[in-house]
Amino acid sequence: MTEPVIALRGVRAELGSRPVLRGIDLTVHRGEVVALLGANGSGKSTAVRSVIGQVPAAAGEIELFGTPQRRFRDWARVGYVPQRTTAAGGVPATVTEVVSSGRLARTRFGVFRKADREAVRGALELVGLADRAKDAVDALSGGQHQRVLIARALAAGPELLIMDEPMAGVDLVSQEVLAETLRHQVSEGATVLLVLHELGPLEPLIDRAIVLRDGCVLHDGPPPKALGQHALPGHDHVHPHAPAGAEPIRTGLLS
Amino acid sequence: MEILNYAFMQRALLAAVLVGITAPAVGIYLVQRRQALMGDGIGHVAMTGVGLGFLLTWSPVWMATLVSVLGAVFMELVRWYARTRGDIALAMLFYGGMAGGVMFINLAPGGSTTNLSSFLFGSLSTVSESDVTAICLLAAFVVLVTVGLRRQLFAVSQDEEFARVTGLPVRFLNLLTAITAAVTVSVAMRVVGLLLVSALMVVPVAAAQQLTRSFAATFAIAVAIGVSATLGGTVTSYYQDVPPGATIVLLTIATFIALTLLATPLTRRRARALAAAQPGGDPAECAIPAGRKGRDEVGA
């Protein structure tokens, strides 16, 4: 197999003095779509934020495109969608202005050329917001905000997309648009790591799921299939080979 | 225009224009990152600089620049390292700065708190030749940063976390914003005074927002409002013998109120146009069946 796009080995991280990641291994190969799942507080957001250097790793190794993350500078290859409910700031801004921020990584000293403006326009077309380009972001719905944030990440033409709960608080129409956008990116060869609360409409796209629980990797393999009784909300996952008397594993995936 | 015949008024008007441009130009980024009161804090710190200037008989403008830049850098460092107790540290910095100013100016030979008042509230007639040189140089720096780096500063002020992942030097840009704000305080000190500087950074931006949808337009209109207010205030203070700083700030607030009143019907019309433009129509209000509404009213 080719060199991994993202590689985490034995990564530990703390928030305050509370350990949030307790030594996780995580690898994403080129062209893969990997979902990071787990209940609230399982460390999935922290894991993603440690990949991009927002949360410092207390121990372990993190590599991006084969380069140790500390020395990684080629950020135009990475598109990041942070967990946000809004794309707006304290001053009005148009959709184009916000998405243009994502193109800065490809410009020299922030000077925009024709190709840069076209890339911004292209990113807006991908998420179906080209007709809203000149509107203020304040005027958009929650799902449209999320589409703006994704267009911003796509504007630099990244090879790797990292998304933190892109489906949170998104209406059905926008969910479909996001799934279609992602499908397009994957068909063009993009690698994707995304934090999800539930698989939802993205399920058919996902090659592999990594489930975290209390800062440890609980499952790394094909996405868990929710079938029959398992599909019912709030069920407990009981492993028959678990030691007798062990607590049932509550992944919280379906709650 | 007899007003232009006096050298002191020429200097005052030049200083006023430069303040009208620079204060909103920096202020827009502070408002965008929701640090609208940062200018106020820097103004307090700059008082120590003015006091030191008197004590050491150096130019108060340059001394205020030096001290407020140090203060702004300190504030940025506090923001990085002491997130939890940051507000207490900042409070101490602000009040320490104010107390330091009063102390130093009283220690200065022949100095008293009355010397300070022209710096606190602005005093156009005392703008000297060397003050104008300093103001011009400092204003050039502010315009260079706020216009030249507008895309970078916009990105950092809009979403710091995202900006870091695009590889922007976020810490450097934050420091630069803080330093530029500090420099602007020193530029504006002579015209509007340290206690009112922050108003000129924030209010024109807030007023412009009532009309605009884009950042670029907000920037341009805020600067236009800033220049109109500083020029208008300066001229008014010449003819009516009222304090310029207070006149300028009251003018910006009046503009804010006027634009807010003007903008309300404007945004309503815009929302209606948007709803009409959407395919299938997006009703702006819930339609309640007439019969049902009548019944509810009877019940209530």
Return the residue of A nearest to B219 by Cα.
Answer: A91
Q: What is the pLDDT of residues A152-172, one digit of tens each?
A: 999 999 999 999 988 877 888
- B164 → closest Cβ in A54, A110, A156: A54
DSSP B134-167: HHHHHHHHHHHHHHHTHHHHHHHHH-HHHHHHTT
Please report the sign of the dihedral spanned by the C-alpha atoms of residue B128, residue B134, residue B137, residue B142.
Answer: negative
**Which domain covers residue A62, as residue numbers?**
6-224
- A39 and A94 part of one domain: yes
- A93 → closest Cβ in B164, B214, B274: B214
Domains held by chain A: number? 2
Average of per-residue pLDDT across B201-223? 95
Q: How far apart are CA A148 and CA A154, in angstroms?
A: 10
Contact state of A100 with B151 under an 8 Å Cβ cutoff: yes
What is the domain partition of chain B in residue ranges?
A: 2-195
Average of per-residue pLDDT across B184-196? 87
- A107 and A128 part of one domain: yes
Q: How far apart are CA A78 and CA A116, in angstroms?
A: 17
Say yes or no: ipTM exceeds 0.95: no
Residue B9's pLDDT band, with cuts at 50, 70 and 90, is confident
- A177 and A254 part of one domain: no
Determine the pLDDT at residue B294: 41
Determine the pLDDT at residue B238: 87
Return the residue of B nearest to A73 by Cα.
Answer: B167
* Residues of A in Cβ contact (< 8 Å) with B164: 52-54
> Among A93-102, A220-229, B145-154, which stretch is predicted with the lowest mean pLDDT?
A220-229
DSSP chain B: -GGGGSHHHHHHHHHHHHHHHHHHHHHHHHHHTT-TTHHHHHHHHHHHHHHHHHHHTS-HHHHHHHHHHHHHHHHHHHHHH-TTTHHHHHHHHHHHHHHHHHHHHHHSTT--HHHHHHHHH--GGG--HHHHHHHHHHHHHHHHHHHHTHHHHHHHHH-HHHHHHTT--HHHHHHHHHHHHHHHHHHHHHHH-TTTHHHHHHHHHHHHHTT-SSHHHHHHHHHHHHHHHHHHHHHHHHHH---HHHHHHHHHHHHHHHHHHHHHHHHHHHHHHHHHHSTT---SSPPPPHHHHHHHHHH-
- A159 and A234 part of one domain: no
- A28 and A72 part of one domain: yes
> Among A158-172, B139-153, B163-177, which stretch is predicted with the lowest mean pLDDT?
A158-172
Average of per-residue pLDDT across B164-189? 90
Which of B31, B146, B156, B165 to probe by mutation at the A interface, max A CB count within 10 Å?
Answer: B165
Average of per-residue pLDDT across B239-247? 89
- A248 and A151 part of one domain: no
Residue B285's pLDDT band, with cuts at 50, 70 and 90, is low
Is residue A217 in a domain? yes
- B31 → closest Cβ in A87, A90, A100: A90
Is residue A1 in a domain? no
Q: Does residue A142 or residue B273 have the better pLDDT?
A: A142
- A185 and A125 part of one domain: yes
Q: How many other CB atoms sit within 10 Å of the CB of residue B19?
A: 29
Q: What is the pLDDT of residues B11-28, one digit of tens each?
A: 989 999 999 999 999 999
- A151 and A202 part of one domain: yes
Determine the pLDDT at residue B281: 44
Contact state of A75 with B167 under an 8 Å Cβ cutoff: yes
> Among A75-89, B31-45, B117-131, B169-183, which stretch is predicted with the lowest mean pLDDT?
B117-131
- A201 and A244 part of one domain: no
- A217 and A242 part of one domain: no
Residue B87's pLDDT band, with cuts at 50, 70 and 90, is confident
Residue A39's pLDDT band, with cuts at 50, 70 and 90, is confident
For the domain made up of B2-195, give the CATH fold: ABC transporter involved in vitamin B12 uptake, BtuC (1.10.3470)
Q: What is the pLDDT of residues B46-58, one digit of tens each?
A: 999 999 988 888 8
Q: A120: domain CATH number?
A: 3.40.50.300
Determine the pLDDT at residue B109: 82
Average of per-residue pLDDT across B152-178? 92
Q: What is the pLDDT of residues A190-243, one digit of tens each?
A: 999 999 887 878 888 888 989 888 888 888 888 876 554 444 455 454 444 545
- A250 and A149 part of one domain: no
- A202 and A232 part of one domain: no
Residue B261's pLDDT band, with cuts at 50, 70 and 90, is very high
